Amino acid sequence: MGLINLLLKDPLSFLVLSVLLLYSVIFHELAHGWVAYRMGDATAKWLGRLTLNPIKHLDPIGSLMLLIVGFGWAKPVPVNLANIPVSSQRKGLILVSAAGITANIIIAFIALLLLRLLSPEPGSMIYQIINLLAYINIMLAAFNLIPIPPLDGSKILMGFTPESFNRILYQIEPFGFFIVIGLLYVGALNPLINFFQAIILAVIKVILFL
């Protein structure tokens, strides 16, 4: 269901969901830029993208897609691996690409930890908000692990695979979002997303109960 339908049916839920989604995506993108900056690439900093200001991160088409079909994206943080020492570029590609996913997993972990510590009533608003925050971030992490360019999973994969294979992924990248949207539409990616979600949730639960 797109957010427009939710807005018409329940404006308060629309507002809460929009804020949680927006800042979950912003922290995802901030993590990419911050790790790149720490590794020597200040491109995101120069362009003013290391900020919580949502205007800097909104993508017009991605935002429209989110409103209409419930699936969208933010403007990717620019990263220039050429600014990272050559000896560390593969490592940089892996760490920068994994940073956004890691940020979402950390947010989900904190949310589930809060649920455990606060033990709110399952039907209460605070329970629903925190639980929704955890779900959104687990979903974002799982979705971005898909190894189809330009999603982060493909960039992580490219950090380990030979250049001959990476060139194929680079050729696919301009059409990547259309491929992903098509596969989502027919449900072909659902088993993979569910698999990644299950793994992420299992890891979080193991850490919570250590």
Please list the active-site residues: 29
Tokens at 59, concatenated: 């993508």
Token duo for residue 74? 């933010």
How many other C-beta atoms can be found within 10 angstroms of the C-beta atom of residue 178? 9
Side-chain half-sphere CA neighbours of 13 within 13 A: 11
Q: Where are the alpha helices (DSSP H) in 41-124?
A: 43-46, 60-69, 89-118
Place of tokens 């760490």: 95
